[in-house]
């Protein structure tokens, strides 16, 4: 099969494996004498992970400042941190936390050199273009989900009926290093593990069937999907203590960041942004609850085209074989098996419906109209997008 032309964006240095967070200090030291560490609430302290990070940084003779916040990063969160720490000669920013923490820290690292509010630089909100000047940024994920430790964008949210969920983006915002230590995810609760894992799986799947996919992203996506398919259910239910399963999820999540940055995402993430701007729903839950229905609609519309040897249907079929473990020779049967498996995951992981977070029938027109589908395998009509949403109200 001929290999089509493609671009591939840079990735962070990856330091992967259990216990490797202890190397944080020696990794940060060449970049700075003063470090700002951005974290979430209290879970990092309760688990003892903060003590490990702080000890490693101080052992490397670094001055350490800490900024904590809860929830998803808002413009006010980023602006507050920039105002507080700009006078303190911070030279490197480190994120230790989930995807929201990493996004917040990435934005803080990008805005500290400018000393300005972040909103005017957000895509689709402001009119300014960021010059790309940023402090060195190191990402230490404590969940396996967004893949933000491998990407060049930070997602910033303002929740409400006039809210938004938009990116601050530049090639230079890619972390200089990602320390992916699966031990940090062992304390992640089952529901959070499930939502984060489904987010990463969705990113791998959507980038795999994207029209912008390449031979490299296909290989990475399939590797991540294989690990996610074998580890997601047990790690999210009765085997969350298994470091091997946690390592598989962490590895797959990192790959999902690389593949989404290079191949783009489809209708699921195209809907996650407007939904997340309207109601306070975790990003992973949006992706998880829409996954099966969006795949069902995409496959349905692709089948209606009746194109022989449709490459995207062949890809969906391959995913069906991977996630189910059944090697159907018939591509159509394999596609059906994919949908059946995703339905089973949604049920077994008790993924909530959109209605539980306040989305109603009256919201569907606006949400469907705002949905992006630039990298979806087929352009869906508004009625199709509304049908996906309605099925998960």
Check pLDDT > 90 for residue 315: yes
Check pLDDT > 90 for residue 165: no
176 and 15 in contact (C-beta within 8 Å)?
no
Computed over every residue of the chain, the mean pLDDT equals 95
pTM exceeding the 0.75 threshold for the entire prediction: yes
Check pLDDT > 70 for residue 1: no
Tokens of 337: 């098996």
pLDDT > 70 in the chain, percent: 100
Task: For helices 243-263 and 215-236, give the axis angle rounded to 10 degrees.
Answer: 150
Q: How many residues does the chain have?
A: 393
Check pLDDT > 80 for residue 142: yes
Per-residue pLDDT, averaged over 324-336, amounts to 90
Per-residue pLDDT, averaged over 83-95, amounts to 97
> 379 CB contacts (<8 Å, ≥6 apart)?
373
Closest CA to 200 of 287, 262, 317, 321: 287
Per-residue pLDDT, averaged over 24-52, amounts to 93
Per-residue pLDDT, averaged over 106-131, amounts to 96
Q: What pLDDT, in 10s, does the model give residues 186-198?
A: 999 999 999 999 9
Check pLDDT > 90 for residue 228: yes
Q: What pLDDT, in 10s, does the model give residues 39-87?
A: 998 888 999 999 999 999 999 999 999 999 988 899 999 999 999 999 9
223 and 248 in contact (C-beta within 8 Å)?
no
- What domains does the chain contain, in order, with CATH numbers? 13-185 (3.40.50.1970), 193-390 (1.20.1090.10)
Band of the pLDDT at 309, cuts 50, 70, 90? Answer: confident
Closest CA to 268 of 279, 256, 252, 283: 283
Band of the pLDDT at 35, cuts 50, 70, 90? Answer: very high
């Amino acid at each position: 099969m001929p290999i089509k032309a493609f671009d591939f964006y840079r990735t962070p240095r990856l330091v992967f494996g259990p216990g490797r967070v202890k190397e944080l200090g020696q990794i940060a030291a060449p970049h700075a004498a003063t470090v700002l560490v951005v974290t979430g609430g209290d879970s990092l302290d309760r688990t003892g992970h903060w003590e490990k990070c702080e000890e490693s940084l101080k052992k490397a003779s670094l001055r350490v400042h800490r900024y904590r916040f809860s929830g998803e990063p808002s413009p006010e969160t980023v602006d507050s941190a920039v105002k507080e720490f700009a006078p303190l000669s911070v030279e490197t920013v480190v994120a230790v936390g989930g995807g929201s923490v990493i996004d917040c820290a990435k934005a803080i690292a990008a805005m500290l050199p400018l000393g300005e509010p972040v909103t005017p630089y957000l895509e689709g909100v402001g009119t300014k273009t960021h010059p790309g000047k940023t402090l060195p940024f190191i990402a230490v994920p404590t969940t396996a989900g967004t893949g933000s430790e491998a990407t060049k964008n930070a997602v910033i949210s303002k929740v409400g009926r006039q809210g938004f969920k938009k990116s601050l983006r530049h090639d230079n915002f890619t972390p200089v290093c990602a320390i992916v230590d699966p031990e940090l995810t062992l304390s992640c609760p089952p529901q959070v593990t499930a939502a984060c894992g489904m987010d990463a799986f969705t990113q791998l799947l959507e980038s795999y069937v994207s029209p912008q996919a390449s031979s490299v992203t296909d290989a990475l996506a399939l590797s991540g999907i294989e690990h996610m398919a074998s580890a997601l259910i047990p790690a999210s239910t009765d085997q969350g203590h298994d470091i091997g399963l946690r390592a598989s999820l962490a590895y797959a999540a990192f790959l999902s960041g690389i593949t989404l940055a290079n191949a783009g995402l489809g209708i699921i993430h195209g809907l996650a942004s407007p939904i997340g701007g309207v109601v306070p729903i975790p990003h992973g839950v949006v992706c998880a609850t829409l996954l099966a229905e969006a795949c069902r609609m995409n496959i349905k519309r692709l089948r209606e085209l009746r194109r022989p040897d449709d490459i995207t249907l062949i890809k969906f079929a391959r995913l069906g074989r991977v996630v189910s473990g059944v090697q159907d020779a018939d591509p159509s049967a394999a596609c059906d098996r994919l949908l059946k498996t995703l339905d089973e995951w949604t049920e077994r992981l008790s993924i909530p419906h959109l209605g539980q977070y306040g989305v109603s029938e009256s919201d569907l027109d606006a949400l469907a109209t705002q949905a992006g589908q630039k990298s979806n395998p087929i352009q869906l009509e508004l009625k199709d997008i509304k049908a996906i949403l309605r099925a998960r109200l």
